[in-house]
Structure 1
């Protein structure tokens, strides 16, 4: 057992879990810079190659709620270790892939490990003293942005100067290192509830989410009016309605919908969808604007690597504002922080109306938007954990992470439709027009502003940590204290 002083040990736990979140986020973005080369690399079509991204998205959506529930049932440290296994295996499979099928399988395995972030945030509630909890949650939440920001230029540099396989071998090594650090530095956490995994609920939610996200993400490629897309969306609605009915009847539900329906949880999840939408819209738009040729009159002609570097400070901004968000939450409550974050995101999008057209303008837009995202993402877990019993912390955080993922998926679909409809012709090429990008920015601004309005409807509560009275394990029961080794 680690004999370090409690404060030092707590700091090590936070550092390891934040690093794990960064590595998990890297898995999502490492293929983006060379996705256009995938058809040549794997000897397949562009449509088939797009599954390299889609597989990770779908696997993450299906397994994040499941790993969250398992974390409550069997201990979060144990499930954190379990989540690193598919990250390692998936990276190795991708590194060895010479065709599209094993690459898709490997990317799906990597997606299965995406529950690390929500599990890590939930573990903080069990392991840290209350005074450390708010800042640590904010830092852990920002790790996704940091990983995404670092992943783009890193992957672009490797793709430009080395073999793409190096990316996946590096991912395998990082995942193995994280496994060892979690095992050595994160204490075991006891189960917070009893019962069993709701297998029927897990399968039902998985089928419903796959149909929904597949329909939304592939609508532009397959045709929104096609029988396949309409069938997927109708099936998603039917399956999710039946799933909801089952969860309400189950004695051990995968997701306790009665708790999820509490105003603070429900409205936070709705705001999470909107903030996730707004967060992703700017990354899609800015990356394209940076790389479009200057001959268009609005493109900035940057290389893949340079574009990634111009966007990298956005992720660092998320980490920089996380301590400020934690202080604001402690002083005024996480509702105020989520409201401030949503408004800052809207401000960033609004600034794009005058800042589009230069690389420095793009940098400012990205920094403002990601600063707002850092505030908002740090407040969401605090709001969730302040309204659910300790026995459902990981499951509730996993469901909240899923809501953000749904927001990013819908964002990709909506922005994709806008940019495909508002176009210009340059020779034999059809490119998104400047007006298309501006409309996309305004849509992102509207989503962030709607997120602020939803936040205003949240119940007002006193400032405090997620271990306060709202987070009790039942009526009149105080929240449990963190494990004694750290207090």
Structure 2
């Protein structure tokens, strides 16, 4: 095993400030990322559009992220421009939010929402800076808190959206907020965030570093799957449009793998992409995203249904429905740093596998005990504990188990897989299950439909735990040395005249 020579260039106080700035920047992105969906009826009325067009206003953000973010992350890696890319992401959030809030018609609204998709840059590029500049323990704690900030922001945003549902202009307030928060974050990032390191050389022409076939080869399958999962229930799963989308996704992905193996400067190195840590991590990210997104949507929907025979909901308001699932996101605030700290000794595989198992147990609780709000809150706490463990673990795997020059672009792919593909699949399965389980004589979904979905989600997470165990078995040495069984960093006291070494991470396995 190689050891990574690592010079600590930031003092403890500076690292604390940098962590706080990154957390605020991530909150400015995540807080509004989940707020628009509940407000779509007001948007439909304001622009006189149907539900199909309105849902595209949500999807275009994710689709723009799939098209642009991996390539921009590659540029951030190659040109040592991680800080610049964080600023670009925040700037895109500001510009997109202003355009969307002031848009008099759909064209400008779509442009604004697409710009906001570029804001996805903030998370992977900030993670790249942390990986470059923080020693082992501080890096682990920071990554845990960063994962927590994303989930807490999404959960809190859901509560705020519920408060705005009654306002016809609620969606415009969301757009203004999505511009204001990153605008406040910008000067702090400029002042305090370091640039990062690990130069691989500075090519003279940035456009020669863009792998257009690679960018399209990743974006097309992701977009096709998101559309198929989002619209399958409406169009019919055996309809020609859905079948074609699945065929396009499979064929394009296969072609992408072949092409990326042959180009000189690929968007994604296939040897790294299909290495054990990454294929396990990407799979668990999608399945874990299915569990978290599906669990939140299903549980919130269930408690808002009326307490009538066959349904047995609780008749809660939209705000109460958002609050009852908030523990699932909030628990990551506790779990993230704890997992980061303990993984230094116990390894990440234990928490990746165990987190998926705990998530599954949360759905078992929902399935067997959902007759009171107290029982559901307890189940959501358990789901949150598992989700926080999984999120923190796969975040650390992205930054620690691959060469540093690949961290940004690979981490940029992860939210698209987890929230885009995994979350869309959860929504599709949820819609299909509820459609087939209704209360006779009404338009209400039945309690059995929710129980069926919770059972499916638990099974999906069990598969996720089995896949995660591959990482656990592969890195069994983690039980007897934690991350010392993988890449290590030697802490070197900073000196003013010292040169910064260009280091590469040791990739295990």
TM-score (norm 2): 0.87
- The runs of at least 4 consecutive aligned structure 1 residues that moved more than 6 Å come to 478-487
- 1:73 aligns to 2:40 (yes or no): no
Check conservation: 1:62, 1:209, Cα contact below 8 A: no
> What residue number does 1:475 align with?
none
Deviations 1:295-316 (A, max 9, x none): 3541111111221222223221
Residue 460 (structure 1) aligns with: 475
User: Are the aligned partners of 1:390 and 1:479 in contact in 2 as well (CA < 8 Å)?
Assistant: no
Q: Which residue of 2 aligns with 1:279?
A: 292
Change (3 A) 1:39 1:162: closer
In 2, the alpha carbon distance for the partners of 1:333 and 1:343 equals: 17
Offset, 1:118: 2.0
Going from structure 1 to structure 2, the CA distance change for 1:480 and 1:131 (only over 3 Å counts) comes to closer
Among candidates 200, 209, 217, match of residue 193 of structure 1: 200
Distance 1:479 1:32 in 2: 47
* C-alpha contact 2:32 2:174 (8 A) present in aligned 1: no
Partner SS, residue 264 of structure 1 = helix
Q: Give the Cα–Cα distance (whole angstroms) in 1 for the partners of residues 335 and 323 of structure 2.
A: 20
Q: 1:5 to 1:232 in 2, by over 3 A?
A: closer
Aligned residues of 2:225 and 2:246 also touching (Cα < 8 A) = yes
Q: Distance in 1 between matches of 2:112 and 2:490?
A: 40
Question: Counterpart of 1:174?
Answer: 181
Tell me which of 118, 121, 130 is aligned to 1:115: 121
Q: Aligned ranges for residues 152-231 of structure 1 at < 5 Å?
A: 152-160=158-166, 163-164=169-170, 165-190=172-197, 192-194=199-201, 196-231=209-244
Is 1:248 aligned to residue 261 of structure 2? yes
Whole-angstrom CA distance in 2 between matches of 1:188 and 1:470: 26
* 1:5-20 equivalence runs, <5 A: 6-20=11-25
User: Following TM superposition, by how much is the alpha carbon of 1:426 offset from its aligned partner in structure 2, in angstroms?
Assistant: 5.1
* Deviation per residue, 1:107-154 (Å, 9 max, x gap): 222122112112222221112122211111111112221111110111
Question: What is the CA deviation profile of residues 12-53 of structure 1, one whole-angstrom value per residue up to 9, with x for unaligned ones?
Answer: 111111222222222321112222333212211112111122
Equivalent in the alignment of 1:262: 275
Alpha-carbon distance in structure 2 between the residues aligned to 1:90 and 1:481: 42
Matched, 1:438 2:451: yes
RMSD: 2.5
Instruction: Give the superposition deviation at 1:401.
Output: 3.0
Deviates more, 1:400-409 or 1:98-107: 98-107
Gap change, CA 1:99 and 1:291, over 3 Å in 2 = farther
Counterpart Cα distance in 2 of 1:483 and 1:63: 37
- Kept in 1, the 8 Å contact 2:147–2:332? The answer is no
Change (3 A) 1:456 1:82: same
Which structure's relative contact order is higher, taking Cα pairs within 8 Å and 6+ residues apart? 2
**How far off is 1:380 after superposition?**
0.6
Q: With structure 1 as the length reference, what TM-score do the two structures score?
A: 0.91
The worse-fitting range, judged by mean Cα deviation, of 184-193 and 260-269 is 184-193
Q: Secondary structure at the match of 1:450?
A: helix
Shift in Å, 1:83: 0.9
Matches within 5 A, 1:338-417: 338-405=352-419, 406-417=421-432
Q: 1:234 to 1:483 in 2, by over 3 A?
A: farther
